[in-house]
Amino acid sequence: MKDLNLNQKLSLIQKEFKANKSKFNSFGKYNFRSAEDILEALKPYNEKYQVSFVITEKMIRMQDQNIIPMMQSTATIYDNNGVNEISATAIVGVDLNQKGMQVPQQFGSASSYAKKYALGNLLLIDDTQDADATNKHDKEVKAEDDLKWLNKNTPEFNKAIEYLKNGGNIANIENKYKLAKAVKDELLKVK
């Protein structure tokens, strides 16, 4: 790998790189990857390609105080020879009106998003299938009150059992039906 320049190393990493979507958004009902997932998946490449990844952050000062604060995150890959580097940047706003969050959490949330998107830009992570990019939150996700109850000994219950026997996921059933504890326990026995 020592014969490769940094552009070639980054190209190989971009081609090989995979990061799991280990986090679940219960409101939007989707899995997503965090900056931490990306950083954890990058660690093996440091040794393999003799590179290092660093993220730097800074606040962007705005002249007009009515404009929301902005966070800039830069993801950089360095060749371990210390000579070459390639960077990508992302900028996100800090939502100071986000309910249920204190100011440090609001900045932390913006920081996480900025890191994730800076890394995504550097590594060419395609999130078109990631619900972060296509999320409709409250638009198409059925509210729990809109869901129909799944009852035992009904055609729907029998279909659910067959679905699980064929490798289906109970989470998909829960997205479609309300489940009483006894019904869920019965479904969990299937496999």
Q: What is the pLDDT of residues 134-150, one digit of tens each?
A: 444 444 444 545 678 88
Residues 64 and 39 in one domain: yes
Domain boundary among the residues 114, 134, 154 is at: 134
DSSP state of 91: E
Residues 92 and 167 in one domain: no
Residues 155 and 94 in one domain: no
172 is a domain residue: yes
Q: Which domain holds residue 114?
A: 6-134
CA 11 – CA 27 distance, rounded (Å): 36
**Structure confidence at residue 86 (pLDDT):** 96
Residues 98 and 39 in one domain: yes
139 is a domain residue: no
Residues 129 and 148 in one domain: no
Which residue stretches of the chain are H helix?
6-16, 35-49, 103-123, 131-134, 155-165, 170-176, 181-188
Q: How many CA atoms lie within 13 A of 152 on its CB side?
A: 8
Distances (CA, A) of 129 to 21, 33, 39, 54, 114: 11, 12, 20, 26, 19
Question: For residue 21, what are its two tokens?
Answer: 């979507």
Tens of pLDDT, residue by residue over 67-105, are 788 899 999 999 998 779 999 999 998 888 878 888 888
**Structure confidence at residue 132 (pLDDT):** 46
Confidence band of 64 (pLDDT split at 50, 70, 90): low
68 is a domain residue: yes
Residues 85 and 15 in one domain: yes
Confidence band of 62 (pLDDT split at 50, 70, 90): low
pTM for this predicted structure: 0.62
Count of domains observed in the chain: 2
Residues 39 and 111 in one domain: yes
Residues 76 and 153 in one domain: no
CATH number at residue 104: 3.30.390
184 is a domain residue: yes
CA 13 – CA 28 distance, rounded (Å): 31
Residues 39 and 115 in one domain: yes
Tens of pLDDT, residue by residue over 162-183, are 888 888 888 888 888 888 888 8
57 is a domain residue: yes
1 is a domain residue: no
CA 33 – CA 130 distance, rounded (Å): 8
Domain boundary among the residues 100, 116, 134 is at: 134
**Structure confidence at residue 7 (pLDDT):** 93
**Structure confidence at residue 146 (pLDDT):** 66
What average pLDDT does this structure show over 4-19? 92
Residues 174 and 85 in one domain: no
Residues 36 and 117 in one domain: yes
Residues 101 and 65 in one domain: yes
77 is a domain residue: yes
Distances (CA, A) of 119 to 52, 53, 129: 13, 9, 17
47 is a domain residue: yes
